[in-house]
Amino acid sequence: MDLDGRPIKPLTICMIGAGGFIGSHLCEKLMADTPHKVLALDVYNDKIKHLLEPDSLPWAGRIQFHRINIKQDSRLEGLIKMADLTINLAAICTPADYNTRPLDTIYSNFIDALPVVKYCSENSKRLIHFSTCEVYGKTIGSFLPKDSPLRKDPAYYVLKEDTSPCIFGSIEKQRWSYACAKQLIERLIYAEGAENGLEFTIVRPFNWIGPRMDFIPGIDGPSEGVPRVLACFSNNLLRREPLKLVDGGQSQRTFVYIKDAIEAVLLMIENPDRANGHIFNVGNPNNEVTVRQLAEIMTQVYTKVSGEPALEVPTIDVSSKQFYGEGYDDSDKRIPDMTIINKQLGWNPKTSLWDLLDSTLTYQHRTYADAVKKSMAKPTAS
pLDDT per position as a tens digit, 205-255: 999 999 998 666 555 555 455 567 888 898 899 999 999 998 888 888 999
- The pLDDT confidence band at residue 382, using thresholds 50, 70 and 90, is very low
Three-class SS of residue 128?
strand
Q: What average pLDDT does range 267-295 have in this prediction?
A: 97
pLDDT value of residue 7 = 96
Helix (H) or strand (E) segment spanning residue 209: strand 208-209
Q: What is the pLDDT of residue 243?
A: 93
Task: Report pLDDT for 223.
Answer: 46
pLDDT exceeds 70 at position 322? yes
293 neighbors 243 (Cβ within 8 angstroms): no
State the Cα–Cα distance between residues 161 and 344, nearest whole angstrom: 13
Give the side-chain half-sphere CA count within 13 A for 237. Answer: 31
Tell me if 232 sits within 8 A of 244, measured CB to CB: yes
Residue 13 has pLDDT above 70, yes or no: yes
Please name which of 324, 323, 296, 320 lies closest in space to residue 310, comparing C-alpha atoms: 296
At residue 23, the 3 state secondary structure works out as helix
Mean pLDDT of 260-269: 98
pLDDT at 283: 98
Q: Among 226-230, 284-288, 319-323, name the most confident range.
A: 284-288
Q: pLDDT for 43-74, tens place per residue?
A: 999 999 999 988 889 999 999 999 999 988 89
CB 51 within 8 A of CB 15: no
Whether 202 has a pLDDT exceeding 60, the answer reads: yes
How much is the pLDDT for 268? 98
DSSP-derived 3-state class of residue 50: helix
By mean pLDDT, which of 75-84, 101-110, 312-321 is the weakest? 312-321
pLDDT recorded at residue 100 = 84
- The model's pTM is 0.92
Residue-level pLDDT at 221 = 53
Other C-beta atoms closer than 10 Å to the C-beta of 78 total 11
Under DSSP, the state recorded for 140 is G
User: Looking at the predicted structure, is the pLDDT value of residue 121 above 70?
Assistant: yes
Instruction: Name the band, by pLDDT with cuts 50, 70 and 90, for residue 103.
Output: very high
What is the overall mean pLDDT for the chain?
Answer: 91
Q: What does the alpha-carbon distance between residue 63 and residue 44 come to, in Å, rounded to a whole number?
A: 15
For residue 95, name the pLDDT band (cuts at 50, 70, 90): confident
pLDDT at 370: 80
- Report how far residue 7's alpha carbon sits from residue 35's, in angstroms, rounded to the nearest whole number: 12
Can you tell me the mean pLDDT for 68-82?
93
Catalytic annotation, residues? 178
pLDDT tens string 349-374: 999 999 999 999 999 999 888 877 77
Q: Which of 91, 85, 301 is nearest to 205 (CA)?
A: 91
Mean pLDDT along residues 148-154: 89
Residue with the bigger pLDDT between 61 and 326: it is: 61
User: What DSSP string runs through 212-268?
Assistant: T-S--BTTTB-SS----HHHHHHHHHHTT-PEEEEGGG--EEE-EEHHHHHHHHHHH
> Can you give the pLDDT at residue 93?
78
Q: Return d(Cα 252, Cα 53) in angstroms, integer.
A: 41
> Which residues, at least 6 apart from 307, have a Cβ–Cβ distance to it below 8 Å?
none
